[in-house]
Each structure stands twice: as C-alpha cells, then as structure tokens.
C-alpha cells in the first residue's frame, strides 16, 4: 500500500502543475474523514448485520489504498447497538455529536431505522440504509439503498401468481413495522390486482428470535392442503429464520407443494441452515452471489481476501452498502467537501455500477434504481436465479396501494425539497389520512 502522505503530496503536485485551484499542502495534515458504522454485532440481528460492518470496513480500506477521498484518509468509527432499538438512537447520537462522523452506514430493521431517524434529522447527519424496507418514508437525511416494496415484495408476488399459479397466501413475518406494513401493502395488492379474498390470506407474526415453530408450521401446512396452490411470503427477520426453515424440513413441506419466498433470507443466513430439505424454496432480492458478472467476481474475490475465508459469502445488503458507499464518495468528490448539505445536493442523479452488470442511480426521492431477482435455494447454500426484471426499477417511497399514500411523491431537489408532496392538494405535508392518524 502506498503511504497516504506520498499519495496526497503527489496528487497536490500534479494538480498544481495543471494550474488547478487547490488547497495548500497543509491539507495533507487534515484530520481523517470519519465514517460511522451502526450495525448490531450482538443480539438477534448479529447474524445478518455483522458482515455489513465488515463490508464497510473493507470498502474503507480499499478507498484508502486508492489514496483516500479529497486527499484525506477515511477512518471507520464502529459502535454496537446490540439489536436494541432504542440503543440505535443513542449510538447514532454518539456517532454524530461526539465522534463527529461525516456519514453513517447502518441499520437493518425498520424499527431501528425509525429510532435513528429523528436523531439524524435533528443533527443533520447522513444515513445510508442498505436493507429492504416497507417504504412509507422519505427523509432528507436518509438514502435508501435497499429495496422499496415495488422493488422486491410486489415483483415477488407477481412471480408467484403469474409463474407458479399461487392462489392462497401465507404472509408470515416478525412482529414489527417492516413486516406489518409490507403485508398491509401486499394484502391490498392481492385483493385489488388478483381478486384474492380474505379466506385465501393467512397472516402470522412472531417476536424477534422466535424459536418454537412447530404449531405455526403445522397451521401453514393445513392452510395449504385445501385444494388451492399456496405459498408463504416470509418477512421473518434475523436468527428466527434458522428454526423456521428447520421446522419446514421437519414437517416435510416441499417447495413443490408450498413454496416459501423470503425477503430477509440470503446467503449469509443460509450458512447456518442445512439447506438440503429447502432446495427449491425462493428468495427475492436485487443481488445474489451467483450473479455472473466480472464486477461480482471481483467483489467476491476481494471479500474472500479481506475475510481470509474461502467459504465467505456475499449477499444483497452487502451490495447495497457497496453501491451506497460508492455513491457517497462520488457525491463528496462532486461537491468537493464532506459537508452534509453539499453532499445531499450533489448525490441526486449520481450513477455508479452495481454488481449485476448495470448501474444504480440515486433518484430525487433518495431511493435508487435496482434490478429485481428471484432466486431458488440450492443444496450448496447458493441461489439459482430463476427470474429477473428486464431492466432496473426505480424505488417508490410511497405505495400506490395504501390509503393516504397514493397521492404522495417525494422530491428532495430544489425548489420542492419535500418528502411527502401531495399532488392532489398541491402542497407538502402528506395526506389527510396521515394527518388524522398523527392526530390520533
């Protein structure tokens, strides 16, 4: 690795010779750019989040090996919110107010993100959020690099209905905001688009870390035995997935009979499961490790080298951090500063490569464009891609299928600068239904 001082001085000299307007050589002695990492390293979500902390640290190391950013090194500042949702807010405040980080990469669950949201807005921080979520939100201080419902949940249901012939639906999720809101959207979508009746929809919620799945899986099995093709749409999060999938195998639920499509199970989660009984079950993501592109192979090689583990796997939220990190560095270069308001303005419209052979663009609603992929579990813990959208899909912050959301758009460009603009009322502030709910 080239010493940072040599890299910085060389860059400064080259810029001077070109007659560019540059800062003095003393800038080489500036403090590092501080990058906050807010992921659970303990508790029920550590199974999913620890590798995301490692991913950001790898990206920082790579950036520093290339000379840093704006002639400054990047420094990781890591905290452990320990799968404790209120602690996420405390740790975010610590990162912004005490550690004075320039940006935060973090969170997995929506309840943790919503805990952090008022903190990053109050302190004018930047949060890059890498995981699929329920939508119904658009913050000036958050960049949503994971999937919105129209980039994962709805295409997955379309696939099951159109390609598999599913008529009965089990909506099984962990009991918090993401599964409940996503399933509310899916219920409305199934009824509006496909005419599904209430009797053909079963909804079930379990706590984080739930381990006793015998009765619930028995109910799913019974629900699927009534003569109509049935599927499970799973928004189960964290380590509860391990006993859930184990119980599916124990009760002989075959993917040919009742397929499960998961929104929170990827390659990392499958490392803790005997996948042999699960072959044929599905997941919907925007990236799989099995994607056949040079960019993906380079990323996998870098990850294996970084971890020193030949069996290390990559997954969708890791790609989302890869995209978000590269978007942030590009916006910082474009703005010429890490100053938050300048970066927020500069990042809209930034486009960077994804790992699937295309590009991701940051939209004015602070969501990105993503392909949608359906993968089938293989006995080696990988996914075989069985379906994908013909092009990338732009993330929609507000669902077309929820009352109070249909009339809303988000656009953080000047002069609108509004996350919930009502196109019917012609004003910023959301819908009447939202205002009534907030008043209650």
Task: For residue 400, tell me if it sits in a domain.
Answer: no
The answer for residues whose C-beta is within 8 angstroms of residue 159's C-beta and 6 or more apart is 261, 284, 374, 387
Q: Are residues 284 and 165 in the same domain?
A: yes
Q: Are residues 215 and 277 in the same domain?
A: yes
Q: Are residues 211 and 357 in the same domain?
A: no
Q: Are residues 9 and 89 in the same domain?
A: no
Q: Are residues 24 and 34 in the same domain?
A: no
Mean predicted lDDT score pLDDT of the chain: 91
Task: For residue 206, tell me if it sits in a domain.
Answer: yes
| 3-state class percentages of the chain: helix first, strand second, coil last, to nearest 5 | 40, 20, 40
Least confident piece of the model among 59-63, 216-220, 253-257, 317-321: 253-257
**pLDDT of 29 over the 90 cut:** no
DSSP 325-336: HHHHHHHHHHHT
**pLDDT of 160 over the 50 cut:** yes
Q: Are residues 36 and 118 in the same domain?
A: yes
**Residue pLDDT, tens place only, 207-232:** 999 999 999 999 999 999 999 999 99
State the total domains in the chain. Answer: 4
**pLDDT of 440 over the 90 cut:** no
CATH of the domain at 185: 3.40.50.2300
**Residue pLDDT, tens place only, 385-415:** 999 999 999 999 999 999 889 999 999 999 9
Q: Are residues 286 and 183 in the same domain?
A: yes
Least confident piece of the model among 127-141, 171-185, 261-275: 261-275
pLDDT the model gives residue 269: 83
How distant, in Å, are the alpha carbons of 33, 57, 66, 76, 290 from that of 63? 11, 10, 5, 12, 25
Task: For residue 401, tell me if it sits in a domain.
Answer: no
The answer for residues whose C-beta is within 8 angstroms of residue 26's C-beta and 6 or more apart is none
Q: Are residues 238 and 359 in the same domain?
A: no
**pLDDT of 151 over the 50 cut:** yes
Q: Are residues 183 and 282 in the same domain?
A: yes
* Strands, E assignment, 255-368: 260-262, 282-285, 351-353, 359-361
Spatial separation of the C-alpha atoms in residues 385 and 387, rounded to whole Å: 6
**What number of residues does the chain have?**
440
Pairing between β-strand 33-38 and β-strand 74-79 as defined by DSSP bridges:
parallel
Q: What is the pTM assigned to this prediction?
A: 0.87
**pLDDT of 11 over the 80 cut:** no
Spatial separation of the C-alpha atoms in residues 303 and 3, rounded to whole Å: 23
Q: Are residues 256 and 164 in the same domain?
A: yes
Q: Are residues 235 and 353 in the same domain?
A: no
**Residue pLDDT, tens place only, 78-108:** 999 999 999 999 999 999 999 999 999 999 9
pLDDT band for position 436 (50/70/90)? Answer: low
Q: Are residues 118 and 168 in the same domain?
A: no
Task: For residue 159, tell me if it sits in a domain.
Answer: yes
Domain with 313 in it: 29-148+294-369
């Amino acid at each position: 690795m080239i010493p940072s001082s040599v890299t910085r001085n060389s860059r400064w000299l080259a810029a001077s010779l070109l007659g560019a307007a540059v800062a003095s050589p003393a800038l080489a002695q500036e403090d590092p750019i501080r990058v906050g990492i807010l992921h659970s390293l303990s508790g029920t979500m550590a199974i999913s989040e620890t590798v995301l902390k490692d991913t950001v640290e790898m990206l920082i190391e790579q950036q520093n090996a290339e000379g840093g950013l704006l002639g400054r090194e990047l420094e990781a500042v890591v905290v452990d919110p320990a799968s404790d949702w209120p602690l996420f807010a405390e740790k975010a405040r610590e990162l912004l107010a005490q550690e004075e980080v320039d940006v935060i990469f973090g969170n997995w669950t929506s309840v943790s993100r919503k805990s952090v949201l008022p903190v990053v807005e109050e302190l004018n921080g930047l949060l890059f959020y890498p995981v699929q979520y329920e939508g119904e939100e658009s913050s000036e201080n958050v960049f949503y690099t994971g999937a919105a419902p129209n980039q994962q949940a709805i295409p997955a249901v379309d696939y099951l209905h159109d390609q598999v012939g599913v008529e009965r639906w089990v909506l099984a999720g962990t009991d918090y905001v993401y599964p409940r809101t996503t399933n509310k959207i899916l219920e409305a979508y199934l009824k509006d688009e496909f005419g599904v009746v209430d009797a053909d929809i079963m909804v079930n919620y379990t706590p984080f870390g739930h381990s006793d799945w015998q009765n619930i899986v028995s109910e799913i099995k019974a629900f699927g035995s009534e003569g109509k093709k049935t599927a499970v749409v799973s928004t189960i999060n964290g380590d509860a997935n391990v006993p859930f999938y184990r119980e599916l195998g124990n009760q002989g639920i075959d993917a040919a009979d009742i397929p499960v499509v998961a929104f929170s199970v990827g390659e990392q989660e499958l490392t803790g499961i005997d996948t042999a009984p699960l072959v044929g079950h599905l997941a919907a993501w925007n990236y799989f490790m099995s994607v056949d592109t040079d960019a993906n192979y380079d990323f996998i090689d870098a990850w294996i080298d970084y971890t020193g583990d030949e069996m290390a796997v990559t997954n969708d939220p890791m790609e989302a951090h890869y995209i978000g990190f590269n978007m942030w560095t590009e916006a910082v270069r474009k703005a010429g500063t890490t100053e938050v308001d300048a970066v927020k303005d500069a990042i809209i419209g930034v486009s960077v490569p994804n790992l699937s052979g295309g590009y991701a663009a940051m939209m004015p609603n602070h969501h990105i464009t993503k392909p949608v992929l359906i993968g089938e579990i293989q006995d080696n813990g990988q996914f075989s891609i069985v379906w994908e959208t013909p092009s990338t899909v732009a993330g929609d912050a507000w669902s077309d299928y929820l009352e109070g959301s249909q009339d809303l758009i988000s656009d953080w460009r000047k002069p609108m600068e509004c996350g919930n603009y009502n196109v019917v009322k012609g004003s910023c502030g959301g819908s009447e239904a939202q205002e009534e709910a907030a008043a209650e």
